[in-house]
Structure 1
Amino acid sequence: MFTGIVTEIGAITRIEDRGDKRMTIACAMDPARIAIGASIACSGVCLTVVDRGGTAGDAWFAVDVSGETISCTAPAHWQEGARLNLEPALKLGDELGGHIVTGHVDGVGHVVGLCPEGGSTRIGISAPAELAPYIAPKGSITVDGTSLTVNEVADQDDGTCHFALNIIPHTAEVTTIGTLAVGDAVNLEIDVLARYLKRMQSLAAKG
């Protein structure tokens, strides 16, 4: 379980084909505090640590990424040199600063617009039709592992939706969100509460 509060940006330094892809990710964590078998969200994808090393501030950890994971997430995230938003799993007693995030990507969205707004940046993202019913103004959504608040939603004729986010300078600086460009693919995870509300609504309609 995660909160969507990114702790740092890591980078893929090596990819090995072992049937699955073993990826080595450079980070600034303390390897002594990274347990084998621990979960780390990598741009919104919950992955299991299978190896780690280095020193505090100059560390690395390795994860195995299945073909299924790669096919269901933004493909550009799984290349050497790709920068990833990192968040270790939530520990009992940690502050829940964002919202409850599972690390299970629901779909891939695409950036459709960028616009300066005051000192911030307004980003427009297109979400696939299967996710559109779960996205609402003032609701939470996870974009590349970052907990964000939806400002506006515009439903499209094809069933998809466009939603807008306000990215403050701090968020742009400490996550990869600040480097997004129009056309970029992003990992989306809908709010877990929206998922349950939708299910309840569908059951009520049947009854």
Structure 2
Amino acid sequence: MATATALPRPSRDTLLRAAFAVNTTLVLTFAYLLFTDARVGAPRYALYGVTWVVVGLWVMFDTRVSAASAQTKRRAAAIAVGYFAVLAVAGGLVTGPVPGGTEGFRVAFLPPGWGPALIYGGDLFNLILMPARVVGYVALAFLVYDTVVEAAGAAVSGIVGLFSCVSCSWPILTSLATSVFGSGTALALTVSTFSYDLSTLVFLVTVVLLRWRPGFGR
């Protein structure tokens, strides 16, 4: 049984949930700009950040997971958590310590979607928790969880189903590629000119493919 609505023909409920995600994100964005010192900066970066949040919220509110045994769900959850962990490292949410960096917690008021970012600097690791990345990566992990559950229900190995899904690896490979070219920490939005364009495109394509999942007998 299909667990996701085909995107070319969205249902009324899907449209309502998408509208809820858009409205919620816009309200939070305006409140953020009104009550903080954050600035929009380059319009396309702000648009990308808001897009990540909107799409991520829509995915989490609109995706209905197939029925499965408790054991299957536990295995799927373990795979999804591992996938999120890899994304977090590859995408710069978790990095190694920076010599001479500021220790402790602070908040960076980056452009909407990317901020407010909670940043932690420590002796063992750094955290850069930007809303767009956190919400987006959680959404992708949730879609991977749903994909593994459906694969198990279709008598396909969850592990094989995940790693045969090439789109699952795109965000990881893109994050690693952009970090090699100087934007791995993702703290300064202007470090690499096109890294945010590329990562946003890959994120959206991955969401579409993981929601539609061609090849699952739909």
TM-score normalised to structure 1 length: 0.25
Q: Which has the higher strand share?
A: 1
TM-score normalised to structure 2 length: 0.24
